[in-house]
Amino acid sequence: QVQLQQSGPGLVKPSQTLSLTCAISGDSVSRNSTTWNWIRQSPSRGLEWLGRTYYRSKWYNDYAVSVKSRIIINPDTSKNQFSLQLNSVLPEDTAVYYCARGQWFYYYAMDVWGQGTTVTV
Amino acid sequence: EIVLTQSPATLSLSPGESATLSCGASQSLSSSFLAWYQQKPGLAPRLLIYDASNRATGFPDRFSGSGSGTDFTLTISRLEPEDFAVYFCQQYGSSLTFGGGTKVEIK
């Protein structure tokens, strides 16, 4: 059974960097038929996809236009996890942050989600 | 960016009734890239439908998805108490975006 376990601080000061990690069990961050995503949810913005990382002979990243200048998503194959770094945060970055797996079988819809981390800026 | 508009925002129904939820896209989608998620309070969204009409693991056949192009529908027949939740559509063909959600509440 695939599980995603999120970790990271729940409080970040404005202008600082939000950092979260998503540890994967039961799957591999390097598996070719998967994508590894970060999504956030807030009352004002709803569900917002932030970006993803995936491996297809080499590593790729895609980012949402809204955060592209501030975001980095990195895989860590040694720990089988991936991370989110969002720089220069603002109060409007306050949200519940989720990591999630996209799988080829589901046309890359997200079938496994982390438990969510409430981040307050 | 493709914008998804869900309607209605809230649906008030009784157990046993049927629910019809709509998701409209600002541009035509490949149906392969339209999904529906169910979310209950305090929990992460859960994949319900992928490829517009295929049920994900664990959902009964009273849930069905349909549609193509810019108009997609999620139908829940014979609502059970555990079906009252918020439902989101999502497209993943051009970047990824979510609709604003439809809350199905008990009348």
Residue B98: CB atoms within 10 A of its CB come to 23
The pair of three-digit structure tokens given for residue B57, joined into one six-digit string: 């693991």
Residue of A nearest to B35 (CA): A109
Chain A nearest-CA residue for B87: A47
The torsion of the CA quartet B44, B22, B8, A115, rounded to 10 degrees, works out to 0
pLDDT in tens, B13-35: 999 999 999 999 999 987 679 99
Give chain B's radius of gyration (CA, Å). 13
At A46-88, the pLDDT tens digits run: 999 999 999 999 999 999 999 999 999 999 999 999 999 999 9
| Burial per residue of B70-96, b for 16 or more beta-carbon CB atoms within 10 angstroms, e otherwise | eebbbebeebeeebbbbbbbbbbbeeb
Tokens of B33: 């890239």
Question: Shortest CA distance to A6 belongs to which of A105, A121, A98, A102?
Answer: A98
Give the lowest-confidence range in A2-6, A59-63, A107-111: A107-111
Cα(B97)–Cα(A38) distance, integer angstroms: 12
Query: Is A83:A20 a contact under the CB 8 Å cutoff?
Result: yes
- Quick one: pLDDT at residue B16? 97
| Dist. CA B107–CA A25, nearest whole Å | 40
Which residues in chain B are closer than 8 Å to A35, comparing Cβ atoms?
Answer: none
Q: Which member of B32, B57, B97 has the closest CB to residue A107? A: B32
Secondary structure class of A109 (helix, strand, coil): coil
CB–CB contact B47 A49 (8 Å): no
Instruction: Give me the torsion for CA of A119, A45, A98, A19, rounded to 10°.
Output: -40
Closest partner residue to B44 (CB to CB) among A46, A102, A115 is: A115
For chain B positions 71-100, those within 8 Å of chain A (CB to CB) are: 88, 90, 92, 95-98, 100
Spatial CA neighbour of B98 closest among B107, B83, B84, B87? B87
- In a mutational test of the A interface, the residue from B39, B53, B92 whose CB has the highest number of chain A CBs within 10 Å is B92
Under the banding of pLDDT at 50, 70 and 90, the label for residue B2 is: very high
Nearest chain B alpha carbon to A117: B44
pLDDT interval class at A107 (50, 70, 90): confident
For B77-94, write each residue's pLDDT tens digit: 999 999 999 999 999 877
**B55 touching chain A per CB within 8 A:** no
Residue A120 gets which letter from DSSP? Answer: B
Q: What is the mean pLDDT of chain A?
A: 97
Whether residue A27 has pLDDT greater than 80:
yes
> What are the pLDDT digits (tens) for B32-62?
799 999 999 999 999 999 999 999 999 999 9
